[in-house]
Structure formats: C-alpha cells, structure tokens
C-alpha cells in the first residue's frame, strides 16, 4: 500500500468511526465546533423538498462553523441524468439520496463502505431487513433513511355499506368480498370495482404490485452472486415446489377475466387512482407517499389505510417499497466530512426529523419501534416499513416495459403464461448486463 492509499484509508476509517459514534448516539451533534472538527463544503442532492432536510443540515453547519452543507432538490424526472452529467463534468454532489433502482446506474460513482469499517451485522441490526438491498460483497452501498412502502387504501363507506368491518388481511379474502363490492350498471358494465388488478395500462403502481406478489412468494426478482446482478424471476420456491412468477401472473390476471368470479377490472376503465378518488373503487394499492395526493384530490373522501394483503398462512409479512438511502460519492474531495454528514443524517434524532418532515417511516429499527400513537396512517406506514423489501431494478422505464409485455402477452393469449414469464426473465437478465 503506498503512502497516499495509507493516508486515504486512515481518513476513511477515522471518518467512519466518527459517523458510527454519531449514529450510536455516543457523540451528539450540537456539542460545539470543537467536538466534531468538520470543515469544508458538502453538497447533498435528492428529490425530497428542501424543508424535509434543511433543518438537520442547518444545525450541522451552525455547530460546525467551518462546515457548510448545502442541499439541492432535484426534479425526479431528470435526477438520474443530472447525476450522470454532473459526475462526468466533475461537479457531482458529495452525497446523494438514491433508491434501489438507482444502484446499478450509479455504482461507479458510489464509495462503498467496507465491512472492515462497518460490519454487516451492525448494518443488519440497525436497519430493516429490506435495507439489505444496499449490501453487496464489497460493503455498504448506501445508508438507509426513510421507507415508502406499498399499502392498501380503502373506502370506508363502501365497506360499511356492505357490512364489511375490516379490509382484507389476505389476498384470498378478496374473492369473498368481490360479489359485494363490484357493481354493474343496467348494461352489465362495471360501475363500481372492488380492486384494480388484472390490467397494466390503467393500474397505478402495477409493477410495484407485481413486485409485492413476487416478494411475498419468496422471489427476489434480482439477485447478486457477489460479483454481479442477475434476474431470478424464473427461480422456483424454496424447496423447488412451485413458481412464484407463474403464481403471481396467474393471480394478477384473473381479476380482468370476465369468466372468473374475481372479475372486477378491465382495460376500458379509468386509471385506478382516479377511480378511488371518485369513490368508485373500494381498494387501492398505493404508496404511503400518495396519502396527501389522495386527500388533496378529494378532501371529502372517506378512506383509511391498512397493511397490504398477504398470502394466506404466510410465516412472514412482506410488502415492496422504495427505500431511500444516502450514498457517498467516490469523487468527493472531502471524504471525512461527507462520511460524518451522512452518518449524522441517519442518526436517530435526524432520522426522526426527516421522517416527520417527509411523512414517511424511517428505515432504522429503533425508531420504527416508537410508533406514532396519534396518527393512524403513520402507524400503518411504520408497520409496513418493518416488513418492506426492495429490489435492484436496473432501469425503471425498461423493466416496466418488460413487465407490461409479460402481462399483456398473457392476457391476449399471444403467449402462454410459461412462455411470457420466461421471456420476461430473459429480457430482464439481458437488461442487467447492459
């Protein structure tokens, strides 16, 4: 190891130790400039409003007079391209907030914290199980901060009108509720639907719904063999009995089969979020972050939120989620301060503030154990976050087309379910290697 590498290693380890001390609470941010020794300029990028993070960053700068931390809120539609261009021009951020679908596209820009510095057990003990998507054979890819889980929104009036007391806890319960909640007009068209499943074009969050079904069936969708990512869509269940992808597609598509008792949706209907906000859909599968959108579109809508249904007799609950995490840039010129700022942002006190400001549950286990007693929505979001999983989607747009083709080939009988799922697996695997 040359002198430069030795010095760099000392800087990394020293910065990490400080970050861990902050995270564990042994060092309190706010103890004065001399307590930290942080200095220089740190730039942070993300898609959250500045209000969600500015308070923590301002406090860091206030107690560390030689440190200036600046946050830039980026447009979600151009965020990835902005990152690529900024790093190519040597003007990238020191820290940037990512979701799991951004891992592969940014892996060459991310400094991975080695396990020698941050043991894998420490990470697993600190964060939800689903955060393991940010681990690979070399170390920690990013530090999780908040979770946006898939949940079940439901129309309270529609359920009460049919004497249904509780929303479904398992997918099987939907079949019992469908005759009560799906209504037809005098020409046989669906005027009120139980749930929006079965089609791709007019179901909001459809890929996330399919991902949830797969993850609940024990399929990781994408796996990592220690050196690279690959599609695991075609893998059998543990023990070799049954195919998660076949079961997920067969379950999903039956809701648009007008010969099936589960029939409650078709391609001629409006988008599912519009149906729900207009009080024509009993159950809407959406993200926790959609809560305020639903409330703003229809302030008079009588709804509540529950955990997403599970497979009957399952041993462990699961829902898919966007897990937001803070990545450290390889190109930062102030590694020590970047490490420490990242560590302080995921520390309990800061993570609590970030969670409250973003109205999303935190990724830390300790904070999730302190469920908000005065907010029924957040209580459900917290419980959902604990069982959240994510997957390293290589390209959101292109993988969406793969899933769409798989469902539409199945619905149109252009291909058998076996053929359409095998094609999707092959396409996803090719996408991983581009």
Q: Are residues 91 and 40 in the same domain?
A: yes
Q: What's residue 239's pLDDT?
A: 67
Using 50, 70 and 90 to split pLDDT, how confident is the model at 106?
very high
pLDDT digits (tens, 9 = 90+) for 182-220: 999 988 899 999 999 999 999 999 999 999 999 999 999
Q: How many domains, the chain?
A: 2
Q: Are residues 13 and 125 in the same domain?
A: yes
pTM comes to 0.90
Q: Are residues 85 and 136 in the same domain?
A: yes
Q: Are residues 129 and 192 in the same domain?
A: no
* In a domain? residue 55: yes
Q: Are residues 13 and 99 in the same domain?
A: yes
Q: What's residue 21's pLDDT?
A: 43
Q: Are residues 98 and 226 in the same domain?
A: no
pLDDT digits (tens, 9 = 90+) for 330-380: 999 998 889 889 988 998 888 999 999 999 999 999 999 887 777 889 999
Rg of the chain (C-alpha set): 23
Bridge partners (DSSP) listed for residue 328: 95, 111
Q: Are residues 247 and 210 in the same domain?
A: yes
Residue with the larger pLDDT of the pair 433 and 78: 78
**Distance between CA atoms of residues 249 and 247, nearest Å:** 6
Which of 381, 407, 423 terminates a domain? The answer is 381
Q: Are residues 266 and 403 in the same domain?
A: yes
CATH code of the domain in which 368 resides = 3.40.190.10
* In a domain? residue 134: yes
Q: Are residues 33 and 96 in the same domain?
A: yes
pLDDT digits (tens, 9 = 90+) for 60-94: 878 888 888 999 999 999 999 999 999 999 999 99
* In a domain? residue 163: yes
**Distance between CA atoms of residues 234 and 112, nearest Å:** 30
* In a domain? residue 28: yes
On whether the CB atoms of residues 206 and 284 are closer than 8 A, the answer is no
Q: Are residues 256 and 167 in the same domain?
A: yes
**Distance between CA atoms of residues 427 and 421, nearest Å:** 10
* In a domain? residue 387: no
Among residues 41, 369, 306, the alpha carbon closest in space to that of 150 is found at 306
Q: Which residue range is the domain that position 210 belongs to?
A: 149-320+392-432
Q: Are residues 337 and 277 in the same domain?
A: no
* In a domain? residue 386: no
Q: Are residues 49 and 104 in the same domain?
A: yes
């Amino acid at each position: 190891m040359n002198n430069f590498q030795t010095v760099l290693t000392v800087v990394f380890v020293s910065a990490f130790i400080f970050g861990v001390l902050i995270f564990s609470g042994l060092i309190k941010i706010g103890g004065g400039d001399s307590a930290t020794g942080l200095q220089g300029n740190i730039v942070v990028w993300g898609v959250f409003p500045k209000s969600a993070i500015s308070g923590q960053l301002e406090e860091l700068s206030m107690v560390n007079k030689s440190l200036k931390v600046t946050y830039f809120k980026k447009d979600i539609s151009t965020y990835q391209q902005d990152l690529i261009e900024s790093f190519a021009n040597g003007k990238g951020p020191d820290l940037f907030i990512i979701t799991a679908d951004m891992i592969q596209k940014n892996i060459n820009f991310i400094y991975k914290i080695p396990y020698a510095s941050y043991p894998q057990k420490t990470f697993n003990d600190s964060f939800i199980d689903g955060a393991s998507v940010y681990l690979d054979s070399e170390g920690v890819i990013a530090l999780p901060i908040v979770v946006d889980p898939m949940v079940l929104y439901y129309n309270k009036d529609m359920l009460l009108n049919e004497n249904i007391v509780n929303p479904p806890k398992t997918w099987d319960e939907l079949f019992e509720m469908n005759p009560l909640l799906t209504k037809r007009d005098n020409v046989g068209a669906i005027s009120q639907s139980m749930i929006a499943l079965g089609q791709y074009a007019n179901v909001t969050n459809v890929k996330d719904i399919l991902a949830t079904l797969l993850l609940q069936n024990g399929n990781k969708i994408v796996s990592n063999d220690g050196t690279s990512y690959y599609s695991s869509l075609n893998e059998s269940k543990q023990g070799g009995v049954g195919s998660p992808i076949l079961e997920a597609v067969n379950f999903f598509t039956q809701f648009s089969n007008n010969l099936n008792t589960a029939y409650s949706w078709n391609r001629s209907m409006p988008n599912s979020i519009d149906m729900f906000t207009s009080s024509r859909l009993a159950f809407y599968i959406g993200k926790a972050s959609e809560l305020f959108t639903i409330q703003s579109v229809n302030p008079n809508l009588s709804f509540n939120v529950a955990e997403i249904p599970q497979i009957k007799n399952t041993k462990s609950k699961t829902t898919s989620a966007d897990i937001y995490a803070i990545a450290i840039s390889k190109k930062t010129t102030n590694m020590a301060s970047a490490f420490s700022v990242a560590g302080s942002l995921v520390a309990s006190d800061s993570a609590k503030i970030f969670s409250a400001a973003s109205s999303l549950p935190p990724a830390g286990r300790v904070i999730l154990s302190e469920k908000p007693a005065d907010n029924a929505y957040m209580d459900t979001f917290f419980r959902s976050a604990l069982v959240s999983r994510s997957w390293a989607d290589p390209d959101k747009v292109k993988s969406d087309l793969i899933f769409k083709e798989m469902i539409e080939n199945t619905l149109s009988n252009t291909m058998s379910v076996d053929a359409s799922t095998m094609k999707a697996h092959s396409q996803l695997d090719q996408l991983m290697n581009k």
